Amino acid sequence: MFSQSRINQLLFVSIIIFAVIAGWAVSELFNSKQDEPSNNITLKFEATDHFGNEVSTTNYDEFSKVFFFGFTHCPDICPISANLMSNAIDQLKKDNFETDSIKFFFVTVDPARDNPERLREFLSNFSNDIIGLTGSHKVLMPIWKDFFVHVEPATRSEHQNHLSSSEQVNDAASNNENYMVQHTAFYYIFDNGNKLQSILPFGSSIEQMVEDLKKI
């Protein structure tokens, strides 16, 4: 017969094994659900860049691409994310990697305030290699939808009326609104064939992004 201490040891080992298996199963289930949208993203857009030029997917077909969605009045997540992309670009250059073959995009989720001038001012704090994209709510909504980006503006007018970009600017200015925009935060990495290669969550390291970019 087993002693009580032996039984306790076996019980403890069994609990550990069960916990590991359960954790693996949950992780696999979570990852399978997380990966599902990535297979359905279609890279197709038309927008205005931060210099006021009308651009579309065809302007960048030959390049690998990194996309992040945010807004310039964001106090923390968006500046941190833009800084991560800037640091990744710097690290790639230090590693003598050909960064001219990659385009980095910061797509606004706040067209009411993020006109080309505002985007240009914001991005100048980080890197000249990041392209800002903006446009009217009507223009940007299909991009948000294609990337499965949930955008929830905090202004009542945007919730109820989906005003045009110029109307939103006037509405916000007239009410002196200092509002926030809730949105999902991921980095989307595409190869030069417009095929999605990876999605990195907010909080990813420079090393993770550099590693993924070197694979494409």
Q: What residues does each domain of the chain span?
A: 1-39, 46-215
**112-140 residue pLDDT tens:** 999 999 999 999 999 999 999 999 999 99
Third-level CATH fold of 46-215: Glutaredoxin (3.40.30)
Give the pair of three-digit tokens for residue 195.
């095929």
Task: Compute the C-alpha angle 75/52/76, nearest 5°.
Answer: 10
**155-198 residue pLDDT tens:** 544 434 444 544 454 454 445 467 888 888 999 999 999 999 99
pTM of the model: 0.72
